[in-house]
Amino acid sequence: MEQDQRFDRLRAQVQQWVEGPGERWAERIEESGEVPEELWAELNSLGFLSVAAPVEYGGQGLGFARWMELMEIFSRSHGSVRMIVHVVNGIWRSMDGHASEEQRKRFVIPSVTGEIKIAFTLTEPGNGTGADITTSVVREGDTYYLSGHKHLITFGVRCDYYLLAARVEGSSGHEGTVALLVPRGAEGVRVEDTSNTMGVTGTDHASLTFDRTPVPVDHRLGTEGQGLEVFLGGFLTPSRVSVAMSCVGLAERAQQLAVEYARGRVTFGKALTQRQAIQFMLAENAADIEAAKQLVLHAARRFEEGADDASMLSSMAKMHAVTMLTNVTDKALQIHGGLGYWKSSPIERVYRDARAQRFEEGTNEVQKAVVFRELLQRAAAQAEEGTAR
């Protein structure tokens, strides 16, 4: 009971911040095109960047499903606010499973407490984000020398370290992949700021080039060959659930704006809410949002339980929630008519931010491939079990 009361207070605090200071930050970000360090500091001082981490790391120890309930609220705010709390509350999880005790003290805990910023660095310009990575390392004594390219790296400009996926030169597939913590200021690192995006204004993104950048071997998480485990298992499954919940929260904000506008807008002597076409749009939105929310919460609970279907459900949730968000924001903008297309209308920003969710943590095409692979594996296992009987 006491735990529930603490969570209720935390949820109320988050909602109050999102609707008050969060909206003022949103206006400032849209005007300046930048996310100032003061916003990071404020989010950190309020404890919003360490909600999901263990108490012994300086976090609040909130269970994953409960954290998703807060993610839903944060996602009604500006896209860059959502991006900060999403990444920082998740990246510790990716490192922690493979970190030594010394690495935990040096990297994991400082990332939770806000002493350092770490950027998830997987995507490359010439290939996908899995076993086909080409960024490579050569080991000489106690040092790796890193060469290659990364792009679309969130917080790649302002971070302190890159949590980076590479492979030992000459290896292929999962074999030889490594996860390295690369200092932002290391020799041979070239950073190109590519932050001029359609939406999620102010979140910095970078293209990176590494030219024999020296990285100490003790900055490697896990062993050689475990690199993709750090990225795909430790981060992407819960992150896809989090992005799916981000879709739910943003869709709720779009629906709220559409209802408010429809109640106040009068055409030919009638409020829009008296028009059956508008009524049906809003009713469909409400049902679609609730269906997506329940699937996301189910995926969150299964991940928290360590269930073997968590990966498949995370992709299902992300795939379904993204489609829902696309439909909801499109209808919400349509209800606003031409006025919704102007930047003076809040729905315009929501519409732009929503488009980013279509490819964050993998496109819907990628999610469908993940779901199908899991379905095929399950069918094969069931067939084998039936034969054994």
Positions marked active-site: 361
- The rounded distance, in Å, linking the Cα atoms of 185 and 207 is 15
Half-sphere exposure of 29 (CA within 13 A, CB side): 25
Half-sphere exposure of 137 (CA within 13 A, CB side): 30
Structure tokens belonging to residue 313: 């459900």
DSSP class of residue 161 equals E
**Which amino acid would we find at residue 97?**
G
Q: In this structure, what are the phi and psi dihedrals at residue 256, rounded to the nearest 5 degrees? A: -60, -45
Q: Would you say how long the chain is, in residues? A: 389
Which of 44-49's residues contact partners 24+ apart within 8 Å by CB, and which partners? 44/113, 44/114, 46/13, 46/17, 48/14, 48/17, 48/74, 48/85, 49/84, 49/85, 49/88, 49/89, 49/112, 49/114
**Which amino acid would we find at residue 221?**
L
Q: In this structure, what are the phi and psi dihedrals at residue 253, rounded to the nearest 5 degrees? A: -65, -40
Q: How far apart are the first and last CA of the chain?
A: 47
- The rounded distance, in Å, linking the Cα atoms of 258 and 334 is 9
Count the neighbouring beta carbons within 10 Å of the beta carbon of residue 192.
Answer: 12
Would you call 360 helix, strand, or coil by DSSP? Answer: coil
**Which amino acid would we find at residue 286?**
A
Radius of gyration from C-alpha coordinates of the chain: 22
Count the neighbouring beta carbons within 10 Å of the beta carbon of residue 81.
Answer: 27
DSSP class of residue 62 equals -
The residues pairing with 181 across neighbouring beta strands, listed in sequence order, are 163
